[in-house]
Amino acid sequence: MSSTILPFQLLTPKSTIIPTSNPPFKTLTFPHFSSCLSHTNKISVISPHKLAHFAAHTSDWSQQVTQESEKEEDVEEESYSEPPEDAKIFVGNLPYDLDSEKLAELFSSSGVVEIAEVIYNRDTEQSRGFGFVTMSTVEEAEKAVDTFNGYDLSGRLLTVNKAAPRGSQPERRVVASSFKIYMGNLAWQVDNGQLEQAFSEHGKVVDARVIYDRETGRSRGFGFVTMASETEMNDAIAALDGQSLDGRAIRVNVAEDRPKRTFF
């Protein structure tokens, strides 16, 4: 009885796992990403080109499929564009148990959420009660501001307004210097974010700064906030002067311009 010896290649299955090519995700399934969040809990759009693709290289055909999929990914990567800066929103007076995932889910009713982040204290890892949301378009950001400014969330009224674009603060300080407010008797742990959160409930905050000692790095117990208009400045002073901030009654009044130094 004669036997036929088959080539080894014919006995080996040529199986290939073919990656699917989908457009960049615009909807997040948040439970899959909760374990990957950093201290700022930033959630961003994940595109297929950031994921690993697996292929069993058992044939030339499978390698060709993999190369073609990589070419498609390159096209997708080139077509993806960052959201505009004006689509970034400041969200204040957040419940302290709200994380970035829930923040993104909340704002998704106004459009596509590109980035959502709750800001945390580095030392205590506790929420500082505010965060930022970046929508896909400026129109969606404006819709979110209209929808959620004053929105009641777990008994807290949210403060939602457009975040100041990067690099724009120094110019605005000069223009709006007359709307500058002085705060005294600040608790030592109060930082810039808490000042911005407190004053943003009474208008648009252009700048918020706690003054620190240069040598020790500790707060000197006072700071300054610049509002966008005289009306907002007066409203903030009337509402916050004598109010408690982190257990201390703060002094709030119009900041006096520092006299220019004269050299002889």
pLDDT along the chain (264 residues), means of 10: 49 43 42 42 39 36 49 48 82 90 94 90 83 92 92 88 60 55 92 88 87 82 91 91 90 74 45
Note the pLDDT of residue 164.
Answer: 63
**pTM of the prediction?**
0.43
Residue entry with tokens 């990567």: 77
C-alpha neighbours within 13 Å on the C-beta side of residue 118: 24
The token duo for 221 is 């117990």
**Integer Cα distance of 189 and 218 in angstroms:** 9
Which burial class, exposed, middle or buried, applies to 103 when counting CB atoms under 10 A from its CB (0-12, 13-18, 19+)? buried
Note the pLDDT of residue 17.
Answer: 42
Superfamily of domain 165-255: RRM (RNA recognition motif) domain (3.30.70.330)
What DSSP character marks residue 178?
Answer: G
The token duo for 43 is 């959630």
Note the pLDDT of residue 222.
Answer: 93
DSSP bridge partners of 118:
131
Residue range(s) in the chain whose domain bears CATH number 3.30.70.330: 21-163, 165-255
Cβ contacts of 254-259, under 8 Å, gap ≥ 24: 254/180, 254/181, 254/182, 255/180, 255/181, 255/182, 255/224, 256/182, 257/177
Task: Classify domain 21-163 by CATH number.
Answer: 3.30.70.330
**Integer Cα distance of 69 and 48 in angstroms:** 11
